[in-house]
Amino acid sequence: MKEPATLKSCLTRGLCLLALSALSACSLNRTAARVTSGVIDKGLPAVFSQADAQYAKEALPANLQLMEILLQSDPGNKALLVNASQGFCGYALMFVEDESPERASGFYSKGEAYAARALKGASSAAAKKSDVPPLFWNTFCKALYINLNRDKPEVLAELPTLEPAIEKLLELDPSFYYNGAQSLMGAYYSLRPRMFGGDPDKAKKHFELALTGAGENFLLNRFLYAKLAAVAAQDPELFEKLLNSVLSAEPREGNARLADEVAKIKAKKLLEKKDELF
């Protein structure tokens, strides 16, 4: 009569051991993911300081895929989510959108979603100083997505949602990512139709502020100023001046080297389209 009870007891212990093994495996996977994500976090500056744009273009997809794999084991890893957001956003802007706007839009959406996860549902109004990186990349990805899809009314209707987030970034840390919030506000006033609050003069003002201090020598700021504000204002002289200043800039070592090199490549292509834009 005791055998069934003994069997039941053995089965129970076996199931418990299996459950513990599964939990242990999950814990080990999460620990491994966090260790690897720490390596990625410290190693990304090496990618962004790369002078060979083609090398970076070929290397980035594998790194982005690795981040997504790690996020399967550690979905709430804030640093990894922010790095993934920045990675997809940067990869799309630097290497994809000129060739395939549709693919770039998908990457921008993915970057926006990863940053939103890092914010854990916090609104821009409730954001703290520690939320600046995910809030910035969430807003940057969204702005670039809107820019590529301005022909879609439902996308253009999302433009006003950028302003409170940018204002919060300007309040919390205006110098983050080379005065990135000033560039974002410049983009915002450039993208909005004039009848709905667009203002090329305000756009220029914010881009000029982006070109001071931390963002003074960041060539991507100048490129975006030309591509967005100078075109919105229909100012060909400013357009040409900004792009030529990008092309003539001396190379700088550091974490902005890749962005600077890509800005030069994109500036040359954009300058060739001057007659189409004005």
**What CATH number is associated with residue 45?**
1.25.40
Domain-located, residue 6? no
Instruction: State how far the Cα of 250 lies from the Cα of 18, in Å rounded to an integer.
Output: 61
Domain-located, residue 135? yes
Domain-located, residue 104? yes
* Backbone φ and ψ of 251, nearest 5°: -60, 140
In the chain, the percentage of residues whose pLDDT exceeds 70 is 85
Confidence tier at 189 by pLDDT (50, 70, 90)? very high
For 273, the 3-state DSSP assignment is coil
| Tens digits of residue pLDDT in 20-72 | 444 455 565 666 666 566 666 676 778 889 999 999 999 999 999 999 999 99
State the residue range of the domain holding 131.
28-119+127-142
Region class of 250: left (phi > 0), else alpha (psi between -120 and 50), else beta: beta
Domain-located, residue 4? no
* Backbone φ and ψ of 166, nearest 5°: -65, -40
Q: State pTM to two decimals.
A: 0.86
Domain-located, residue 78? yes
Pick the residue with more confidence: 15 or 213? 213
Domain-located, residue 82? yes
Domain-located, residue 260? no
Instruction: State how far the Cα of 271 lies from the Cα of 208, in Å rounded to an integer.
Output: 20
Contact present, 137 and 86 (Cβ < 8 Å): yes
**Measuring CA to CA, which residue among 48, 127, 126, 153 is closest to residue 90?**
48
Range 168-171 contact pairs with CB under 8 angstroms and sequence separation of 24 or more: 168/124, 168/125, 168/127, 168/135, 169/132, 169/135, 169/136, 169/139
Q: What angle do CA 157, 169, 250 make, to 5 degrees?
A: 100
pLDDT confidence of residue 185:
98
Domain-located, residue 69? yes
Instruction: Report the domain count for the chain.
Output: 1
